[in-house]
Amino acid sequence: MKSKKNKPTKVTEKKTTAKDKEKKGAAAPSEKALPAGKQAPSKKTYNVLRGMHDILPKDDKYWKLVSHAAENLAEYFQFGRIETPLLEETSLFVRSIGRGTDVVDKEMYSFEDRDGARVCLRPEATASVVRAYIGNGMWNMTQPIKVWYQGPMFRHDRPQAGRYREFFQVGFETLGAKDPSADAELILVAYSFFKDIGLPVTVAINSIGTPEERERYVNELTSYYRSKRSYLCEECRTRLVKNPLRLLDCKEVGCQPVKEGAPQIVDWLTEDSKSYFMKVLEYLDELSIPYLLTPTLVRGLDYYTHTVFELYPAFGEAGSQSAVAGGGRYDLLVEELGGRPAPAAGVAIGLERAITSLKAYNEENKIVLSEPKFSIFFAQLGDEAKRQAFKIISELRSSSIRVAFNFFKNSLKTQLEAANSLGVAYVVILGQKEVQDKTVIIRDMESGVQEIVDQKKLEHIIKKKLGIEIR
């Protein structure tokens, strides 16, 4: 085995200069702030790993939006939360996703742990959910089992726009049911997710039948592609040998005419499989979910059977390039992973792509996401007032009153300005005099009228003013 140790590795410990920091928006260290004669220590700074990213407070409202949408849908459609570890046995994914797929062959973060076990950062969660379904005896409970998850996945792919090495997915899985309504429900949940966050999407859908049907189709596909070998790109020539179904994924311009003339899998499906697929489509018609029959859609993972689908943003050109969600039926996976046979289906939504597309859509349509709303602003003046303010704010919070405050601003003017920009209707002011009198001032921000009230009555009065039910 070739050892990578022999290769000299270039260590990119870039020293960050003050200029670099300025470029990134961070404040440059001020020479003046250091004691005379002392220079700022030049320490190594760290960058986020390639293909990974920080989720920053500026995007909080987007992450909240997608999390709330997922949570609400899960509750409504009765999917129970499941969280599985980020680390699993590597072979779990090799057996489920399959050799010859990009994920297994090229993208897994697989390594030996300290006990010599071959483990892997999960590249997706369906296999983990199936492991949990088998291992926790969920197959023994009333079927189907409907679960959902949210968390990071890891794929060491070539990073590019919308493709990360760590990315977040929300997923919904229905195990122990084979019924077209289960497939349709998953598509409905994913479709509703995007509707709820405000992103129009369209569904691409296909059926890839059973493994037997697929095998017959792949034979036909292979002989067709072999006859066109000289027109194919390098990658497709490899796919022809390693994973012929993936030939249908090729985006190379030169391969498109070949792809267009390729045999279509629906023609190789049995009547049963066709009729199952038709029933799924009938549900979508009934639900008015727009879909596009896409004979080239085969999905990148081996475990799929029958229905496969992807969701794409339905606006702009760039948006439609990459799927924001994908899923399908995987009737044989539970058995493949050692469980009692149980048909199943699932969908995974890519949250970074959902958020990026939503931002682009909102920008195009001049839609501004609302900031969290506060009911009142609490202004404090002086140290003692600050000390007491925390207590009063905590009490108000327990009564579901959303209080904004800023303890790093001490002047009343700046605090009133902050209150104004948040658009709150009332400001509660606690100054030195009020501390002594055990009172507070309530200022009506619209009229400017102020009243002095007893601290003990504050909660009651504020609730009355805000129309919050008093119990």
The site for ligand AMP (CB under 6 A) is made up of: 124, 155, 157, 162-164, 167, 169, 300, 323-326, 348, 350, 352-353
With CB atoms as reference, the residue minimizing the distance to ligand AMP is 350
Phi, psi of 221 (to 5 degrees): -60, -45
Look at residue 345 and give its three-state secondary structure.
Answer: strand
CA–CA distance, 459 with 234 (Å, rounded to integer):
71
**Shorter beta-carbon distance to ligand AMP: residue 347 or 458:** 347
User: At closest approach, how far in Å is the CB of 204 from ligand AMP?
Assistant: 11
User: At closest approach, how far in Å is the CB of 266 from ligand AMP?
Assistant: 21
**Shorter beta-carbon distance to ligand AMP: residue 27 or 56:** 56
**Shorter beta-carbon distance to ligand AMP: residue 124 or 331:** 124
**C-alpha atoms less than 13 angstroms from C-alpha of 435 in its C-beta half-sphere:** 15
User: At closest approach, how far in Å is the CB of 280 from ligand AMP?
Assistant: 18
Q: Residues for the chain: how many in total?
A: 471
Sign of CA dihedral 426, 431, 436, 437: negative
User: At closest approach, how far in Å is the CB of 88 from ligand AMP?
Assistant: 15
Judge contact between 101 and 127, C-beta under 8 A. Answer: no
Find residue 291's DSSP bridge partners. 203
**Shorter beta-carbon distance to ligand AMP: residue 124 or 213:** 124
Of the candidates 164, 71, 169, 180, the one whose C-alpha atom is nearest the C-alpha of residue 129 is 169
**Shorter beta-carbon distance to ligand AMP: residue 169 or 375:** 169
CA–CA distance, 205 with 235 (Å, rounded to integer):
25
What is 294-327 written as a DSSP string?
-TT---S-TT-EEEEEEEEE-SSTTGGGS-SEEE
**Shorter beta-carbon distance to ligand AMP: residue 63 or 139:** 63
User: At closest approach, how far in Å is the CB of 4 from ligand AMP?
Assistant: 24
Give the chain's radius of gyration (CA, Å). 29
Of the candidates 431, 430, 408, 405, the one whose C-alpha atom is nearest the C-alpha of residue 418 is 405
Which element (helix H / strand E) includes 334? helix 333-336
**Shorter beta-carbon distance to ligand AMP: residue 148 or 268:** 148
- Burial string for 9-33 (b: 16+ CB within 10 Å, else e) reads eeeeeeebeeeeeeeeeeeeeeeee
**Shorter beta-carbon distance to ligand AMP: residue 69 or 324:** 324
**Shorter beta-carbon distance to ligand AMP: residue 162 or 295:** 162
User: At closest approach, how far in Å is the CB of 219 from ligand AMP?
Assistant: 26
User: At closest approach, how far in Å is the CB of 52 from ligand AMP?
Assistant: 10
User: At closest approach, how far in Å is the CB of 232 from ligand AMP?
Assistant: 24
**Shorter beta-carbon distance to ligand AMP: residue 326 or 339:** 326
Judge contact between 459 and 392, C-beta under 8 A. Answer: no
Phi, psi of 430 (to 5 degrees): -120, 105
**Shorter beta-carbon distance to ligand AMP: residue 125 or 218:** 125
Look at residue 427 and give its three-state secondary structure.
Answer: strand
Burial of 143 (0-12, 13-18, 19+ CB in 10 A): middle
**Shorter beta-carbon distance to ligand AMP: residue 209 or 350:** 350
User: At closest approach, how far in Å is the CB of 161 from ligand AMP?
Assistant: 10
Look at residue 236 and give its three-state secondary structure.
Answer: helix
User: At closest approach, how far in Å is the CB of 420 from ligand AMP?
Assistant: 40
Of the candidates 97, 148, 147, 159, the one whose C-alpha atom is nearest the C-alpha of residue 122 is 97
User: At closest approach, how far in Å is the CB of 297 from ligand AMP?
Assistant: 11
- Which amino acid, residue 78? Q
Judge contact between 93 and 120, C-beta under 8 A. Answer: yes
408 Cα distance to chain centroid: 34
Residue indicated by tokens 């005099």:
433
User: At closest approach, how far in Å is the CB of 324 from ligand AMP?
Assistant: 5
Residue indicated by tokens 């600050």:
386
